């Protein structure tokens, strides 16, 4: 448990209390009395520093009205900030742009004959001829979101991305982000699209690997895509769906674990807002929130997936996370009874479900619990608190067993 982290958390609490007191002042305008000033409430998700890294919160899979989503790029980034995120990649489909047909119809009165222009489904979305040109700017969504956060001074990193999709059953679907030009990625062939994304320095992840499929094994096309080293990570959680076998694949094939929402509607439709459960997200352990540091962290697999208060990752990072978040103190030593009493305090926003045999303890955010542990029968020495953490998932479809270190 890091002292600096404790200090930071208490400063954050003080600031939020001060702000909460300041907002109840009604202001009187010339014609209206404002009954209440609704401030922009951001959900602050307090997470520990792990091995000297800060944890940043990212969602690398969301859609807007410019593909098949139902919100604008502006609302997406504003919502991401409200939801406590630091990074968001807008990943509209390359092949699916539902708004095109609608806009042609809506703008028909501008045309001399008042009739809409013919809708031409360009690019790989056109099954008959994927070489058909695309008559729109695929980068416009990102540009709008990016210029909006700059203008409104919203402190969130917006990443240029796209979802590359041909056939859910055969090719699977991939998100490429940290792109330089989305339009250039729109190639008729999926491998060419992924190669172009790679050449732009993008990170590519395999989305919802079990979607519309009966097996988690790689299809023939997926084998080719993986073999050409075009995949950097896997969406082990999509929305609220966990693909546990994919944790094993990530470890075996040196790939990064991701958890994303794939939001098409507002996030509040899928996840509660302002409560104790947050939207699905990827925790990224990085030195700072810059493109370079985040990319480095993602390529070095320093991530933990978060979904509905479950944590998904490699045992080593989960263990580091638990020990960084939980302060463990010996509060009594009872030689007569042969046990030590511990106080465990959770200093982060995520609860831990700790199982010891048949007993389950819930260590809620910013609460403490007391627990006794006796001596190890073999060594005769006092043991540290040891639990199976039921809301953590790691390799082998398992909840990891962990020792909580005593803080000095």
Q: Could you give the CA distance from residue 250 to residue 124 in angstroms, rounded to a whole number?
A: 29
Beta carbon of residue 180, minimum distance to Zn ion (angstroms, whole number): 21
Residues 6+ apart with CB under 8 A from 151: none
Site string for Zn ion, 154-173 (x = CB under 5 A): ---------x----------
Beta carbon of residue 389, minimum distance to Zn ion (angstroms, whole number): 30
Q: Which is nearer to Zn ion, 79 or 262 (CB)?
A: 262
Beta carbon of residue 160, minimum distance to Zn ion (angstroms, whole number): 16
Q: Which is nearer to Zn ion, 87 or 263 (CB)?
A: 263
Q: Could you give the CA distance from residue 233 to residue 212 in angstroms, rounded to a whole number?
A: 20
Q: Which is nearer to Zn ion, 83 or 262 (CB)?
A: 262
Q: Which is nearer to Zn ion, 92 or 314 (CB)?
A: 92
Beta carbon of residue 86, minimum distance to Zn ion (angstroms, whole number): 21
Q: Could you give the CA distance from residue 161 to residue 94 in angstroms, rounded to a whole number?
A: 10
Q: Which is nearer to Zn ion, 95 or 262 (CB)?
A: 262
Q: Could you give the CA distance from residue 195 to residue 88 in angstroms, rounded to a whole number?
A: 23
**φ, ψ for residue 284 (rounded to 5)?**
-120, 125
Site for Zn ion (CB under 5 A): how many residues? 2
Stretch that binds Zn ion, among 42-50, 141-149, 262-270, 323-331 (CB under 5 A): 262-270
Residue with tokens 């890294």: 53
Stretch that binds Zn ion, among 122-130, 256-264, 322-330, 346-354 (CB under 5 A): 256-264
235 binds Zn ion (CB under 5 A): no
262 binds Zn ion (CB under 5 A): yes
Beta carbon of residue 217, minimum distance to Zn ion (angstroms, whole number): 22
133-152 residues near Zn ion, rule: CB under 5 A: none
Among residues 165, 158, 251, the alpha carbon closest in space to that of 206 is found at 165
Q: Which is nearer to Zn ion, 168 or 289 (CB)?
A: 168
Q: Which is nearer to Zn ion, 144 or 173 (CB)?
A: 173
Beta carbon of residue 75, minimum distance to Zn ion (angstroms, whole number): 17
Beta carbon of residue 262, minimum distance to Zn ion (angstroms, whole number): 5
Cβ density class 267-302: b for 16+ within 10 Å, e for less: beeebebeeeebbbbbbbbbeebeeebbbebbeebb
Q: Which residue is nearest to Zn ion (CB)?
A: 262
**φ, ψ for residue 295 (rounded to 5)?**
-60, -40
CA 283 to chain centroid: 6
Among residues 347, 194, 147, 161, the alpha carbon closest in space to that of 260 is found at 161
Q: Which is nearer to Zn ion, 307 or 346 (CB)?
A: 307
Structure tokens at 277: 């459960």
Beta carbon of residue 70, minimum distance to Zn ion (angstroms, whole number): 13
Beta carbon of residue 159, minimum distance to Zn ion (angstroms, whole number): 15
Q: Which is nearer to Zn ion, 54 or 162 (CB)?
A: 162
314 binds Zn ion (CB under 5 A): no
Residues that bind Zn ion (CB under 5 A): 163, 262
């Amino acid at each position: 448990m890091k002292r600096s982290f404790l200090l930071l958390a208490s400063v954050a609490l003080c600031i939020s209390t001060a702000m909460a007191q300041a907002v109840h002042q009604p202001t009187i305008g010339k014609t209206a009395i404002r009954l209440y000033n609704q401030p922009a409430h951001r959900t602050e998700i307090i997470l520990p520093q792990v091995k000297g890294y800060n944890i940043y919160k990212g969602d690398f899979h969301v859609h807007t009205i410019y593909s098949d989503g139902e919100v604008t790029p502006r609302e997406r980034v504003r919502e991401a900030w409200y939801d406590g995120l630091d990074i968001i990649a807008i990943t509209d489909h390359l092949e699916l742009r539902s708004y095109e047909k609608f806009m042609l119809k809506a703008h028909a009165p501008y045309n001399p004959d008042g009739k809409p222009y013919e809708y031409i489904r360009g690019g790989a979305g056109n099954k008959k001829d994927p070489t058909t040109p695309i008559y729109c700017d695929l980068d416009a969504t990102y540009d709008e979101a990016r210029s909006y956060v700059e203008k409104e001074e919203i402190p969130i990193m917006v990443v240029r991305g796209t979802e590359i999709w041909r056939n859910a059953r055969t090719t699977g679907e991939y998100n490429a982000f940290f792109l330089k030009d989305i339009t250039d990625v729109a190639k008729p062939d999926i491998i060419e699209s992924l190669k172009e994304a790679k050449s732009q320095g993008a990170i590519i992840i395999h989305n919802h690997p079990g979607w519309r499929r009966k097996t988690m094994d790689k299809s023939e096309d997926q084998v080719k895509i993986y073999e050409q080293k075009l995949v950097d990570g896997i969406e082990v959680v999509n929305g609220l769906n966990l693909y546990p076998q994919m944790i094993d694949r990530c470890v075996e094939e040196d790939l990064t674990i991701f958890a994303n929402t794939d939001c098409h509607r507002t996030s509040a439709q899928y996840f509660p807002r302002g409560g104790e459960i947050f939207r699905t997200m990827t925790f990224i352990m990085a030195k700072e929130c810059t493109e370079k540091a985040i990319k480095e962290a993602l390529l070095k697999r320093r991530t933990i997936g978060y979904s509905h208060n479950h944590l998904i990752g490699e045992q080593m990072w989960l263990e580091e996370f638990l020990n960084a978040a939980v302060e463990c103190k010996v509060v009594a030593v009872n030689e007569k009874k042969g046990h030590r009493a511990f106080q465990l305090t959770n200093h982060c926003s995520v609860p831990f479900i700790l199982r010891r045999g048949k007993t389950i303890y819930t260590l809620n955010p910013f609460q403490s619990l007391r627990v006794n542990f006796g001596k190890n029968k073999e060594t005769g020495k006092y043991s540290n608190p040891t639990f199976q953490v039921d809301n953590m998932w790691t390799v082998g479809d398992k909840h990891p067993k962990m020792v909580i270190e005593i803080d000095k």
